[in-house]
């Protein structure tokens, strides 16, 4: 099972975006949520991102700080969804972040406490200003009526020491029934009996 960079880098952070994540009450530690340790003073509850800060200083902020615009919020199998962020991949110190990871998966899998493969994913290079856009396609395996989630995050690399810099608020997409194909007219002269 392959774990998407967006999930490997910030699984716990993305978990915080879901309104009532199933794993919020799950005491079982996971790769993206280290086991709690005893501390003399209670620490505020915040999602932890298992990444190593860059050598130049502390990691940039990794809070939800942007939204996604989709070209469609519903459509049948094969729909091409253009995804554009409201803000570029730029750290709080002004550094342009080189990558955006964009995923499409069922809401049920997005809410799942276990690692999973996204149904569609694009790792996108940002331009010199941190801007990016991409297109995801609703997979052939999608079922009508199922809600999917489009999520994206800006990351410094796909390596283990990557830093999550910006997380965009996920947006839902509902798969609709495919339209029946239009009948092709048959040329010829009709024949009547009677």
Q: What is the mean pLDDT of residues 153-173?
A: 89
The CA distances from residue 94 to 49, 51, 121, 154, 160, in Å, are: 21, 20, 27, 14, 23
The count of C-alpha atoms lying within 13 angstroms of the C-alpha of 137, restricted to the half-sphere facing its C-beta, is 4
Q: Walk me through the domains of the chain, giving residue ranges and CATH numbers.
A: 5-25+60-175 (2.60.40.10)
> Which pTM was predicted?
0.65
* pLDDT on residue 76: 96
- pLDDT of residue 193 exceeding 70: yes
- State pLDDT tens for residues 133-160: 999 999 999 999 999 999 999 999 888 8
- State pLDDT tens for residues 29-74: 333 333 333 333 333 333 333 333 333 433 444 567 899 999 999 9
- State pLDDT tens for residues 70-108: 999 999 999 999 999 999 999 888 999 999 999 999 998
């Amino acid at each position: 099972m392959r774990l998407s960079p967006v999930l490997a880098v910030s699984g716990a952070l993305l978990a915080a975006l879901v309104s009532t994540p199933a794993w919020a009450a799950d005491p079982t530690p996971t790769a993206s949520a280290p086991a709690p340790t005893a501390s003399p003073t209670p620490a505020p509850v915040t999602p932890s991102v298992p990444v190593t800060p860059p050598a130049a200083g502390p990691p940039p902020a990794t809070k939800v700080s942007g939204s996604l615009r989709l070209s469609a919020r519903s459509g049948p199998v094969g729909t091409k969804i253009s995804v554009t962020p409201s803000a570029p991949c730029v750290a709080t110190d002004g550094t342009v972040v080189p990558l955006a990871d964009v995923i499409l998966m069922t809401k049920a899998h997005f809410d799942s406490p276990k690692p999973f493969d996204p149904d569609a994913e694009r790792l996108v290079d940002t331009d010199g200003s941190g801007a990016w856009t991409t297109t995801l396609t609703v997979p052939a395996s999608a079922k009508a009526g199922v809600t999917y989630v489009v999520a994206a995050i800006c990351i410094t690399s796909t390596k283990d020491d990557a830093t999550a810099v910006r997380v965009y608020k996920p947006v839902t997409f509902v798969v609709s029934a495919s339209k029946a194909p239009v009948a092709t007219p048959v040329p010829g002269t009709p024949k009547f009996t009677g």
